[in-house]
Amino acid sequence: MKVGTLRHALSCECCAQELDILHDVIVASDVSVAKALMISEVARIAKLEMRMRDYLTLKWRNRAREASGRAGMIVSGGGSVKAAIASVDKIMGKWSGEVESRVTADLADIYKLARIAGWKKATGKTKASLQYVVPNFTEELDSGRELTRKAKRKTAEVSPKFDVLDERAVKDLQDDQMLWIGRHYSQNVRDTVRSAVEPSMIEGISHAEAGKRVAAALAETLSKVTVPKGFNGSDAKYFEGIAANTATNARVRGQVRSFADIGITTYEIVNPMDNRTTEICAFMNGQTFTVKDASSQIEALSGATTPDEVRSVHPWLSIGKIKSIFKKGGSKGLVSAGLSLPPYHFRCRSTVDVSTESMSFGDLEQE
């Protein structure tokens, strides 16, 4: 290996490690600041989502820079396009394994924070919404509000107890969310890499010029994401969507578990309802479902081991299909179709919430 090539490789590995160290420092700092300023759980979840988005994007771009540069050097040195592509596959193949531990840790944190936020809302400790658009770092808890008698008999503690059911829920959550991250390169990017660089594009030019062309083409290709029959856009927007959806899944499951613990029997779907709200979320906003139905869907998701199995339990449907289902079967039809829980589409901002003014309490098993 040439000295320049070795330096380049070491530089990329150092950058990857520096990003991990920076992530861990920010995590520790955020926890300390949150405790010192009494920042709400919902605001902390919002911060976690943004951090996850930035981390995934930066790690991807670091490897993409390394992969395109390495492929260009192979071609510049007289190597084949096939060898260059193989090097890209090897380098980009590191990405999902590198990000897994920190993403799964973030998901566990979001779930636990959502459990606490859901618990506080269900016990009347706060009237604040469980949704967010812009992080609200100064949430005021309605600590003086009296609980209903039914709520008091259910809630002797300020925070939930985390038990083996939570451990299982977090593990299931991590497993099914990593399905999308772990297969990202192979399913969403690899084919476009192959189509972006073909032997014909470097015919009749010098090795040096060929290397530059290959590196530029790959850098451009790796900065975009094309999901078959789905997303087509920049890497930043894709990872923003991945972070949003993984965070939504984590907080929805945590909040539902707290609702069940307290004895809340129904909840509603809420969305910011602004100019970014899709027609799907506008329709689902305000729909009410039982906690029992939500718990059943989460249980079904725990048994899903492939993307297709996840989609069968929790599908993303068109607005036309959703309206048709509701027209025929109402809320029960939506439940049967797997629509009792968000997210409902990529970058979905809907979540679940309860009204502290109109709560219904009961034993979940008797519903």
Taking residue 48's Cβ as centre, other Cβ atoms within 10 Å add up to 22
**Tokens for 291?**
């906690």
Between helix 207-222 and helix 81-92 the angle, nearest 10°, is 40
- pLDDT computed for residue 355 by the predictor: 72
pLDDT at residue number 156 = 43
Q: Are 187 and 112 in contact (CB under 8 A)?
A: no
**In the prediction, which pLDDT does 157 show?**
52
**Alpha helices (H) along the chain:** 3-37, 41-76, 81-92, 95-122, 149-154, 164-182, 184, 190-196, 207-222, 235-262, 279-284, 291-302, 307-313, 319-336
3-state secondary structure of 352: strand
pLDDT value of position 264: 93
204-212 long-range CB contacts below 8 Å, 24 or more apart?
A: 207/75, 207/76, 207/77, 207/78, 208/76, 210/75, 210/76, 211/72, 211/73, 211/74, 211/75, 211/76, 211/77, 212/72, 212/76
Helix (H) or strand (E) holding 266: strand 266-270
Closest-CA residue to 50 (of 242, 195, 272): 242
Position 364: which residue type? L
Residue 49, C-beta contacts closer than 8 angstroms, at least 6 positions apart: 110, 243, 244, 247
Q: Give mean pLDDT in consecutive 10-residue pieces for the chain, a chain of 367 residues.
A: 43 72 84 85 93 94 96 95 96 95 95 95 89 49 35 54 92 92 92 91 92 96 89 93 94 95 94 93 96 95 89 95 97 96 94 74 51
Give residue 171's pLDDT: 94
DSSP 269: E
As a whole number of angstroms, the distance between CA 353 and CA 86 comes to 48
Sheet with strand 351-353: strands edge to edge: 288-290, 266-270, 351-353
Report the pLDDT value the prediction gives residue 20, as an integer from 0 to 100.
85
Q: Give residue 106's pLDDT.
A: 95
pLDDT recorded at residue 12: 61
End-to-end CA distance of the chain: 68
Q: Are 302 and 365 in contact (CB under 8 A)?
A: no
User: What does the pLDDT read at residue 138?
Assistant: 36
Name, in order, each residue with C-beta under 8 angstroms of 324's C-beta and a sequence gap of 6 or more.
Answer: none
Tokens of 293: 């139905």
pLDDT of residue 233: 92
**CA dist., res. 350 & res. 281, Å (int):** 7
